[in-house]
Amino acid sequence: MVTGSTSGIGLAIARALAAEGANVVINGFGEAGEIESLRADIETRFGVRAHHSPADMTRPDQITAMIAEARDAFGGVDILVNNAGVQFVARIEDFPAEKWDQIIAINLSAAFHAMRAAVPGMKAAAWGRIISTASAHSLVASPFKSAYVAAKHGIAGLTKTVALELAAHGVTVNCISPGYVWTPLVENQIPATMAARGFTRDQVINDVLLAAQPTKQFVTPEEVAAFVVYLTSDAAKQITGANLSMDGGWTAA
């Protein structure tokens, strides 16, 4: 189960897990025909079953139902990837309260609700992998991203807590903290960052986004997906409760 997987990092994770032979539930929004071709492509390309759940990550009831549907379709959720996330960029005094609520719901509370629903099955199977897409913003802040930074710091704390609860049950719980990954989420925040800082598009890319990454390169969705696949392997069974940076050196500074 990969939340927020009709685009960007989540889609790359769903494809990489399918390439390893996992049946996948993809989730997220988009145009119905496009989602159906993404879903069908996963089935034909990787020879697995793929199901799409339109569950809205702001809705706890829909998240719980999505986990139950996955269990009915595939017999259980062995791997849960909490990936759905949105961004909004504004000064704290202008930050719309409803944007705060939406970001906390999608980027933080949805992971709680999904874990809460999936953990009993993992415990019963004595095996499971929970991986959340956090962010370098789970470790450090940037101005104008109060809700996002608060939610991602929250994911890091939730990860540690649930990892301790499940350590003796064969279930590992980790988060990956990428720096900037070139996806629609990053592309879409460029106009607001231009407005907030009075910068051009190139200045935002070079002086704001890549300024933070010593490698001067964006992380790719496929690199994050390969890390997820590794964390699901037996070789990674002693990695739990970790917040794993993948940020071109950003948070080393």
State which residue, 93 or 230, has the beta carbon closest to ligand NAD. Answer: 230
Both ends of the chain: CA-CA distance in Å?
34
The answer to whether 169 and 71 are in contact (CB under 8 A) is no
Can you name the residues that pair with 12 across neighbouring β-strands?
Answer: none
Other Cβ atoms less than 10 A from the Cβ of 217: the count is: 12
Nearer of residues 133 and 232 to ligand NAD, judged by Cβ: 133
Residue 7 vs 240, nearer CB to ligand NAD = 7
Q: Catalytic residue, from 46, 88, 144, 148: name it.
A: 148
CB of 198 to ligand NAD, least distance (A): 22
Residue 148 annotated among the catalytic residues of the structure: yes
> CB 228 → ligand NAD: shortest distance, Å?
11
Give the distance from CA 48 to its chain's centroid. 22
* Residue 234 C-beta: closest distance to ligand NAD, Å: 26
* Residue with Cβ nearer ligand NAD (75 or 191): 191
Phi and psi of 50, rounded to 5°? -130, 135
Pairwise CA distance, residues 68 & 59, whole Å: 15
CB of 95 to ligand NAD, least distance (A): 17
> Least distance in Å: CB of 97 to ligand NAD?
17
Chain position carrying tokens 């009915």: 72
Rg of the chain on CA atoms, in Å: 18
Judged by beta carbon, residue 23 or residue 183, the one nearer ligand NAD is 183
- 20: its two tokens: 């390893």
Query: Within a 13 Å sphere around the CA of 90, how many CA atoms are in the beta-carbon half?
Result: 12
Q: Footprint of ligand NAD on this chain (CB under 6 A)?
A: 4-10, 27-30, 56-58, 83-86, 106-107, 133, 135, 178, 180-181, 183-186
Burial (0-12, 13-18, 19+ Cβ within 10 Å), 8: buried
Task: Take residue 119 and report the two structure tokens written for it.
Answer: 């953990």
- Number of other CB atoms surrounding residue 230 within 10 Å: 12
List active site positions: 148
